[in-house]
Amino acid sequence: MRVGWSKAAGLLLVGLAVAPGHETITTKLTWSKEVSRVVLRRCGGCHRPEGRAFSLQSYAEARPWSKAIAEEVLNRRMPPSRAVRGFGELRHDLGLSAEEIHLIADWVEGGSPEGDVNVLPAGIKGAEPGGRLLGLRRAFRGEFRLGGAMTILGVEMGEMAEGQSFKLVGEMADGERVPLLWIEGYSRKAISVYEFVRPVRLPAGAVIRAYPAAGVRLRLITGSGR
Ligand code: HEC
């Protein structure tokens, strides 16, 4: 009986010692130095206490998710965008750069080390993509007719049905059409502000239309233009 117990205790101890650090560290990249800076800036707008998703603000919070983090960024599922690429010119920084993706992936593959906590960044406040876009919000449903010329900086999602899909197009009086945004499967969990690479200036008399229009609720974010 006594032998059995000590054996069991011994196995337990070995298990404890091995489980957390069984991955060999094969990378110089660390959470404290490189990875936290990318994650806080790119993901921290949603992944924070009281944010839209679980917090990824510290090593202790991020470490258990490291494999999932690499998978999400490699497959470009995070940050969660519902815009179809190539329809309208949306800010490329909705997604991570190839360099940022590989930094995260290499860190995870190399065992996700924490590194020296003294080099942790101070005061990086992540915002949701487009969350810092200032401008007058104009809400509309399905269709918006411009009284005068207008400069549009981005489009904010209103309350819509999950899974709703639509294309948003600017139509000039002379028949010219400007693709603005194509949402495939709206989700409350995804990005809510889509920002254009360059402000889109539309003349008086233009109409912004959603196809199909039913149920589409949006807010134009308009600026004074440059
Ligand atoms: C616009 C807000 C937003 C941003 C920005 C964002 N996420 Fe998320 N993320 C979410 C939401 C919401 C969920 C939860 C999804 C769910 O509940 O199904 C999630 C889930 C996840 C998950 C869990 C996926 C799973 O296995 O279910 C991981 C990992 C993740 N995010 C990593 C990241 C990383 C890394 C970044 C930055 C590169 C990031 N997220 C940026 C909103 C965001």
| pLDDT tens for each residue of 41-57 | 999 999 999 999 999 99
Q: Is the pLDDT of residue 104 over 80?
A: yes
Say if ligand 1 is within 6 A of residue 73 CB. yes
Vertex 57 angle, CA 62 and 221, to 5° = 120
* Segment 149-166, tens digit of pLDDT: 999 999 999 999 999 999
Going from the Cα of 127 to the center of ligand 1, the distance in angstroms, rounded, reads: 14
Q: Between 20 and 196, whose confidence is greater?
A: 196
Say if ligand 1 is within 6 A of residue 40 CB. no
Report residue 11 as tokens: 């196995």
pLDDT at residue number 91: 85
pLDDT band with cut points at 50, 70 and 90 for residue 105: very high
Report whether 106 contacts 29 (CB < 8 A).
Answer: yes
What's the CA dihedral at 61, 63, 64, 70 to 10 degrees? 120
Give Rg (Cα) of the chain.
23
Q: Whose CA is nearest to atom 12 of ligand 1?
A: 189
Assign residue 69 a region: left if phi > 0, alpha if psi is -120 to 50, beta otherwise? Answer: alpha
- What is the best residue among 59, 69, 72 to mutate for testing ligand 1's pocket, by most ligand atoms within 8 Å of CB? 72
Q: Between 16 and 160, whose confidence is greater?
A: 160
- What is the best residue among 35, 43, 93, 103 to mutate for testing ligand 1's pocket, by most ligand atoms within 8 Å of CB? 43
Average pLDDT, the chain: 89
Range from 5-14, 103-112, 187-196, 198-207 carrying the lowest mean pLDDT:
5-14
Tell me which residue of 143, 149, 148 sits closest to 180, measured CA to CA: 143
Q: Is the pLDDT of residue 15 over 70?
A: no
